[in-house]
């Protein structure tokens, strides 16, 4: 049975008790608090073995992702009753480190990730790849490097002593891939504290702009020399405004990688895992309309990995490991 130790108590409570051993009221109060802590700690985390399937995602904007995840999860759970799944829950994490902790502790069963995020969870939590997924009908994507036409930057090799904007630390296309490609060219990367900072003459300095539009704006205004975005962002006028395009040039495009990767914890019940696989693969294939119209409008489908996908994920795995070792 799970137990709690007194280290869970606030320091000031310990001091009060230690300095007031003769005060039986405080001792009794302490015992009551310990009992409450034991009761809280003893409540087990929900997991598939308890009839609850937990779907996780790393997100810096949980509200925008929750509705779509819940819709998908409800569809899946409804088709898994005969393997013991009766309920579904959504669990968000702020970064891959937190999600890896959830996986190791069995608090989440299935995680919807990008390519680099999936690789990180495999390395840090021993997660296993289940399927690839389309997001908004897109199965593969790539990184595009943008610069102003008049910047004097003609290739990535010109980034020594200059600055590049990434999106955030969780982005495959706007952080991991460009960082991987710069390191592969033996260009060291330095984290900059502000737009006013400059890297050393032999390194490229980077900052996180948080949004795709900010990346494009920083490049357009000359605040950074290059910006890394996905080809999907380049095609979206809400991310890259039309009036920016005449002043921007594409320096390079990376190889394509899978857009979405579904991973599961390694110790997930094999029967539950197989049914989850089968239900996801069937989405969008039922001519009788087995998928609800709201789910169909998300244009999300799931696929088994092909040899090309395995090769691309291995490329990401090697690159992410180098980024983690040399930058993070």
| Inter-residue contact 174 to 229 (CB < 8 Å) | yes
| Chain mean position to CA 90 | 14
pLDDT tens per residue, range 34-71: 343 333 333 345 668 789 999 999 998 899 999 999 99
Mean pLDDT of all residues in 257-269: 97
pLDDT given at position 284: 74
Is the model's pLDDT at 10 over the cut of 70? no
pLDDT given at position 8: 39
pLDDT tens per residue, range 119-146: 999 999 999 999 999 988 899 999 999 9
Percent of the chain at pLDDT > 70 equals 82
Mean pLDDT of all residues in 244-263: 97
pLDDT tens per residue, range 198-207: 999 999 999 9
pLDDT given at position 296: 64
Cα(218)–Cα(41) distance, integer angstroms: 48
Mean pLDDT of all residues in 81-96: 96
Is the model's pLDDT at 258 over the cut of 50? yes
Summary mean pLDDT of the chain: 87
| Inter-residue contact 262 to 129 (CB < 8 Å) | yes
pTM exceeds 0.85 for this model: no
What single string gives the DSSP state of each residue in 167-219? --TT-IIIIIHHHHHHHHTT--EEE-SSTT----TTSEEEEE-SSHHHHHHHH
Is the model's pLDDT at 3 over the cut of 50? no
pLDDT given at position 48: 80
Is the model's pLDDT at 17 over the cut of 80? no
Is the model's pLDDT at 190 over the cut of 90? yes
Is the model's pLDDT at 286 over the cut of 70? no
What domains can be seen in the chain, in order of their start residue? Answer: 6-41 (no CATH), 48-139+258-326 (3.40.190.10), 143-254 (3.40.190.10)
């Amino acid at each position: 049975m799970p137990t709690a130790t007194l280290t869970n108590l606030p320091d000031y409570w310990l001091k009060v008790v230690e300095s007031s051993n003769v005060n039986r009221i405080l001792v009794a109060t302490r015992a009551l608090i310990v009992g409450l802590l034991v009761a809280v700690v003893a409540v087990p985390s929900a997991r598939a073995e308890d009839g609850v399937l937990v779907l996780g995602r790393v997100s810096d904007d949980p509200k925008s992702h929750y509705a779509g995840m819940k819709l998908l999860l409800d569809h899946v759970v409804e088709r898994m009753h005969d393997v013991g799944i009766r309920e579904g829950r959504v669990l968000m994490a702020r970064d891959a480190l937190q999600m890896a902790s959830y996986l190791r502790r069995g608090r989440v069963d299935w995680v919807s990730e990008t390519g680099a995020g999936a690789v990180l969870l495999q390395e840090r939590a021993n997660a296993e790849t289940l399927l690839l997924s389309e997001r908004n009908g897109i199965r593969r994507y790539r990184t595009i490097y943008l610069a102003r036409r008049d910047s004097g930057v003609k290739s990535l090799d010109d980034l020594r002593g200059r600055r590049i904007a990434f999106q955030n630390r969780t982005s495959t296309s706007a952080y991991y891939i460009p960082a991987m490609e710069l390191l592969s060219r033996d260009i060291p990367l330095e984290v900059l504290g502000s737009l006013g900072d400059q890297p050393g003459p032999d390194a490229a300095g980077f900052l996180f702009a948080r949004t795709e539009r900010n990346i494009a704006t920083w490049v357009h205004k000359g605040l950074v020399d290059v910006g890394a975005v996905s080809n999907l962002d380049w095609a979206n006028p809400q991310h890259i405004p039309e009036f920016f395009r005449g002043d921007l040039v594409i320096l390079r495009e990376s190889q394509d990688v899978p857009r979405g990767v579904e991973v599961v914890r390694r110790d997930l019940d094999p029967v539950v895992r197989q049914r989850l696989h089968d239900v996801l693969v069937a989405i969008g294939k039922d001519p009788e309309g087995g998928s609800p119209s709201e789910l169909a409008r998300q244009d999300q489908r799931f696929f088994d990995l092909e040899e090309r996908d395995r090769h691309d994920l291995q490329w990401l795995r090697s690159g992410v490991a180098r980024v983690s070792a040399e930058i993070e």
